[in-house]
Amino acid sequence: MLQPIKTGQRWISEMEPELGLGLVVKLEHRRAYIEFEAGECVRIYAIETAPIKRVEFTVGDTLKTRDDEEFTVEKVDDQDGLLIYSGNGFEIIESDLSPHISFTTPENRMSAGHVDPNGLFNLRWEALQTRYNILKSPVRGFVGGRIDLIPHQLYIAHEISERKIPRALLADEVGLGKTIEACLIMHRLLVSGRINRVLILVPEVLIYQWFVELLRRFNLMFRIIDEDFMMDLEEEHPDANPFENEALVLCSSDFFEYEPDRFEQAMQAGWDLLIVDEAHHLKEGTHEYELVQGLSLQTPGLLLLTATPEQLGLHGHFERLRLLDPARYSDYDAFLKESETYHKVAELGHVILGDKKVPEKSIKDIEMIFSDDSSLIQLIQDAISGDDKSKKRLMGHMLDRHGIGRVMFRNTRSAMPDFPKREIHPVELKGENDPVLLARIDNEFSGDTGRMKFKISYDFQDDPRIDWLAEFLKKNPDEKVLLICRTRRKAQAIHDALKKKIEIKSTLFHENMSIVQRDRNAAWFSEPDGARLLISSEIGSEGRNFQFSHHLVFVDLPVNPELLEQRIGRLDRIGQTSTIHIHVLFIPNTAYGMLFDWYRNGINAFEKHVPGARQVYEEFKEPLWEMLGQANSSPNQKKYEKLIKDTRDFSEKLEQKLEEGRDRLLELHSFRPEAAAALVDLIESEGKNTRLDQLMHLIWEFYGINSDDIDIEKRTFRLTPGDLKIDAFPGFNPKGMIVSFDREKAIEREDIIFLSNDHPMVHGALDLVLGSELGNSTLAILQNNHESGILLETIYVLECLAPLRLQVDRFLAPTPLRVLVEPGGKEKSEEFSEIQLKKRLKTPVQAGQLLDSMPIKTELLPDLLKQSKLIAQEKASQIIKSALEQTEQSLGDEIKRLKALKQVNDHVSDEEIKLAEQEKQEIVANIKTARIRLDALRLIIVGDFSND
C-alpha cells in the first residue's frame, strides 16, 4: 500500500526513474496526476497500484533548489504531509526542490550493511547495458513489429518518423502496406517518447481490423471510443472528458457526425498524432473534412492514408494536401501550374534512368533544372553518358528539388519486383438444369448482397461445390487451402457439410469468435501439421496474412471489386514464395457465374491487380446489376456481351491512362533500395543477437517465472508461474504463455508473443530491475593466494534529464560507466574485466557479518567512492564531448541541407528549419547538463579463502 498521496509532494517513477522528481499536481477520481518537469510530461496513475515511490531525503543529503542552488540538509520537518528541508540558511518546501535531482541509495545500503547476492550485480550491469543499447539503436521502434521486413515500408516509416513535423500522405497501392507504414511511424514515435497521445479515425467497418492489427502486430492497446463508452464514463465521472482519459484512441470518423458535442471534446483533449484512414473520402464542405481540418490545425503530426489519392479528381487531392500543409497549399491554380512541372520532371527522371540514350532536348531540360548549381555539371555529364551511380546521384538531387514527395509517398506494384504470380482455375460445375439448386443459389446471392430482408438458411448437403472441394482436398493432401465466403453462417454451413464428405483437419475463422480463438485457429492453420483448410467469413479478407497457403477457393464472389482484391490479397503479398492458385467454383446461369465472367473477361481482376477496378465498377454498376438480376431468367445475350466488351475497352483505356500518369519521380522518392536495405540489415542484426534472450531468462528466473524450451533453434519458450516473488510481472500471463525471440516463428504463429527490444515486457522487466534496489549493493570475495586487499567496483550512469520529445538518447543515452579502484585511487578496470570477475567472484556465506566485522564502511568506503567518482567524471566528460560532436555533425549537417534545399524547393518551410535549429540548441544545452549518478557498487575482498 502506498503512503498517503497529497498535492505538492515529490514522488519518483519506479518504472521511469530518468524522468527525475515528480510533483503531485492533482488528485481526481482515485487517480494521481504527477508532473515530471525534467521530462516535460504528466503521468496519470491509479493511486492503489501506482509504480511510484515517495521521495524523502534525510539529514546529510545534498539537495538543489529550483534556482539550482545547493545546500546540505540539516533538518527535516513534516507539515501536513509535506516535507520542509532546512540547512545552510535554506528552508524550502519539497515542491521547490529541483526536478532534476536523481534519487538512488546504493552507498546508503552498503553503509547500513544491506547487500545482495553477487550475481544480482551482474544482472543489473547487464540490464543497464541492454537499456543503453536499446535507447541508442538507430532502428528503435522498428524491431518490435510482428511484420515481415518489407524494405519500402521501412524506408517510408524511417523517412517520415525522422522529421521534426511528421505530416504526410501515405498513398501506396492496395496490398503494399499503408497501414503497416502508419503503425511503424506511430510505434517508433511512441517508443522513443516523442509522442504520447494518438487519435486514429477510420470508417466504422475498419474499426475492428485496426484494433486487431495494432494489438497483434505492435502490442498497442487502443481504446475504441463510441457513444456507449462515452456515456458510461460520463455517468461515473460527469465532469470528465472521456478523450482526456485515454492516450491511445481509435474512433469511427462517422461517430462525430451524429454527436457534434464530441468533436469539441476531442479538440479539447489535444493530440500529438492524428491518423486518418481512407482519406480519399475527405472532401471539402463535408462534416468529415471539417472534423479532420479542425483536429489537424492543432495536432503536430498528421498521417492521411489512401490508395487512390486522386480518385475524386485533382481538386480533391489538393484539398487533402492542404490539410497537411495549409500554408503551402493555399492556391489551387498555383498548384495546377506546379503540377505541370512535376510531370515534366517525372518524365525526365524516367528518361535518365532508362536504357535508351538521353535525347538532346532532355539534356537541355536537365541542364536548365540545375543551372543554379555549377558543381553538378560533371555529375550531369556522367549521368547522361550512362554511368549508373551518377544516374542515381543525379536523381537524388532531382528528388530533393522537385515534386510533391516531401508530403506524399506512393509505391506501386509495377515498381515492386517481389509480387507473386496469380493463376486462375475456373471450375464450371454441373447444375444449370437443376431448378432447385439454381433457386437455392439465387437466394444465396440475394442474401450475400443484402437484397434479402431476412436471414436465409444455407443448405450445402447436395451442393456440387462441396463435392468438388472434398475431391480437391483428397487429391492434394499436402496443400494448405484458404476458403473465404461472405458470412459467418455460410462458413459454418460449408464446414458442417464438408465434414460429412471427408475426414480432414479444418478450422473456422469468423467474427463471432473471440480475438484469442481466431488467433489460435489461424495459428493452427499455419502449422505444418495443423489444419489443411481454413474456412473464413469475409472478416478473414481484412488484414490477415495467410501467405504460407498457395490455394484460394471462391464458392461465392463479392460484387465489390475492392473486396475481391482484399480476399486475394491474403495470399498475394510481398514475400509469397509460390504462384497463387485461385479456384473459382461457379454454376452457369447463376449470378455468381455471370459475375465471374464479368470480372475475368471485363476487368481481368483475377490474374493481376487492377488499380482502376473500383472506377470500372462505378462506371458499369447499373447495367451489371441489371444483368445479375436476370441471371436465372435468360438475360439478353447481346446486351450482356456488349457489357463485357464495353467494360473491357474502358478498363484497358483506364489502365493505359493510369500507366502514363505514373509519377516515377514520386515512386523513386518513396523507395530508395540502398537505404531500405541498410535498415533491414540493422533490424535483422538486432533480432539475431541472443544477448536479450539470456538477460530475460535471468530476470524470469529471479522473479520466479519458469521458462521451458519449446523450440531452441527458433528461440521459443513456454513461460509458467513458479515461485513468484511479485504479484504481477510486466506482460506476464499467470495462466502461462509462449514467447519467441525469433521473428519468423512469431509471424508463423500469431498466438506466440514476439519478444524484442521494443516489447513492453522487455521494457517492463528492465524497469523492474533498474527501478528497484536490486543488485545495487553487493559484496564479493576474490580468491587470491598471493595478495589480499580491497577493491571497489562501481557503476555510474551518465544521465541527461531532458524532455522526451527531444530524443536526446540518439546522442547521449543513459550510459553505464564501470570503474574498479583500489585504495589509493588506482584504476584496475582493464586488469579485471567484468567477464573475468563474473567467472572468479563468489558471494560470501555471511556477507552482512563479514562487512560488519571490518572497518570498511566507515574508513575505506567513503575514500574509495570519492576516488571512483573522480575517474567516472573524467570518463563522462569525454562521452559528453563526443555526444556534442555527434549532435553537431548530425543535426548541423541536416540544418545545412534544409537551408540549401530551401533555395530550390519551397516545400521546405521556414518553420521546419527554425524547429530544427531550436531542437539542436535545446539538445546541446541539455547534453551539457548531463551528470553521473551512482547506480550500483560491489565491494570485493581479495585474499586467500581456501580454509574457509
pLDDT digits (tens, 9 = 90+) for 100-124: 876 557 887 777 667 888 899 999 9
Residue 647's pLDDT is 93
User: Would you say residue 660 has pLDDT above 70?
Assistant: no
Q: Which amino acid is at 688?
A: K
Name the band, by pLDDT with cuts 50, 70 and 90, for residue 606. Answer: very high
Average pLDDT in the chain = 85
Residue 712 gets the label, from left (phi > 0), alpha (psi -120 to 50) or beta, of: alpha
- Residue 186's contacts (CB-CB under 8 Å, 6 or more residues apart) are 195, 198, 220, 273, 275, 303
CA distance 546 to 531: 13
Residue 219's H or E segment, with its range, is none
Backbone angles phi, psi at 753, to 5 degrees: -80, 125
Residue 675's pLDDT is 87
User: Would you say residue 849 has pLDDT above 70?
Assistant: no
In percent, the amount of the chain with pLDDT more than 90 equals: 41
Half-sphere exposure of 242 toward its Cβ, with a 13 Å CA cutoff?
A: 21
Residue 486's H or E segment, with its range, is none
Residue 184 in contact with residue 139, Cβ under 8 Å?
no
Residue 479 in contact with residue 550, Cβ under 8 Å?
yes
The closest of 790, 796, 912, 800 to 851, measured between CA atoms, is 790
Name the band, by pLDDT with cuts 50, 70 and 90, for residue 732. Answer: very high
CA distance 561 to 541: 13
Q: Is 734 helix (H, G, I), strand (E, B) or coil?
A: coil
Lowest mean pLDDT among 436-445, 630-639, 835-844: 630-639
**Sheet with strand 41-46: strands edge to edge:** 41-46, 31-36, 22-28, 10-13, 52-54
CA distance 25 to 10: 10
CA distance 554 to 624: 20
Buried b (16+ CB within 10 A) or exposed e, 38-54: bbebebebeeeebbbbe
Residue 841's pLDDT is 87
CA distance 934 to 105: 8
Residue 646's pLDDT is 94
Lowest mean pLDDT among 306-315, 593-602, 666-675, 906-915: 306-315
Average pLDDT over residues 757-776: 92
CA distance 920 to 888: 8
Name the band, by pLDDT with cuts 50, 70 and 90, for residue 738. Answer: very high
Alpha helix (H) residue ranges in 844-909: 847-852, 861-902
DSSP letter (8 states) at residue 759: -
Residue 792 in contact with residue 868, Cβ under 8 Å?
yes
Residue 612 in contact with residue 173, Cβ under 8 Å?
no
Buried b (16+ CB within 10 A) or exposed e, 365-379: bbeebbeeeeebeeb
Residue 632 in contact with residue 594, Cβ under 8 Å?
no
Average pLDDT over residues 820-836: 88
The closest of 574, 546, 578, 611 to 174, measured between CA atoms, is 611
CA distance 554 to 561: 14
Residue 199's pLDDT is 96
Residue 19 in contact with residue 42, Cβ under 8 Å?
no
CA distance 601 to 599: 6
DSSP letter (8 states) at residue 598: I
The closest of 777, 666, 527, 783 to 172, measured between CA atoms, is 666
Name the band, by pLDDT with cuts 50, 70 and 90, for residue 249. Answer: very high
User: Would you say residue 355 has pLDDT above 80?
Assistant: no
Using CB atoms within 10 A of its CB, is residue 391 exposed (0-12), middle (13-18) or buried (19+)?
A: buried
Residue 165's pLDDT is 79
Alpha helix (H) residue ranges in 689-725: 691-703
Backbone angles phi, psi at 436, to 5 degrees: -65, -45
- Look at the block and give the residue holding cell 563474473: 838
Looking at the DSSP bridge assignments, the partners of residue 582 are 424, 552
More confident residue, 148 or 584: 584
Angle, vertex CA 183, rays to CA 180 and CA 189, nearest 5: 145
- Look at the block and give the residue holding cell 485533382: 314
DSSP letter (8 states) at residue 128: H
E-state strands within 574-691: 580-586
Residue 611 in contact with residue 173, Cβ under 8 Å?
yes
Using CB atoms within 10 A of its CB, is residue 684 exposed (0-12), middle (13-18) or buried (19+)?
A: middle
Residue 665's pLDDT is 65
Tell me the pTM.
0.75
Using CB atoms within 10 A of its CB, is residue 723 exposed (0-12), middle (13-18) or buried (19+)?
A: exposed
Alpha helix (H) residue ranges in 482-547: 488-499, 515-526
Residue 425's pLDDT is 96
Name the band, by pLDDT with cuts 50, 70 and 90, for residue 315. Answer: confident
Residue 40's H or E segment, with its range, is none
In percent, the amount of the chain with pLDDT more than 70 equals: 90
How many Cβ atoms are within 10 Å of 712's Cβ, its own excluded? Answer: 8
The closest of 796, 814, 795, 794 to 804, measured between CA atoms, is 814
Q: Which amino acid is at 735?
A: K
CA 863 to chain centre: 48
Residue 845's pLDDT is 64
* Grid coordinates belonging to 433: 438444369
How many Cβ atoms are within 10 Å of 573's Cβ, its own excluded? Answer: 20
β pairing state of 753-754 and 737-740:
parallel
537-to-448, 494, 587 alpha-carbon distances in Å? 11, 11, 21
What is the rounded radius of gyration, in angstroms, for the C-alpha atoms of the chain? 33
CA distance 302 to 295: 9
- Any idea of the CA torsion for 636, 637, 640, 642, to the nearest 10 degrees? -110
Residue 151 in contact with residue 809, Cβ under 8 Å?
no
- Residue 435's contacts (CB-CB under 8 Å, 6 or more residues apart) are none
- Look at the block and give the residue holding cell 506482460: 731
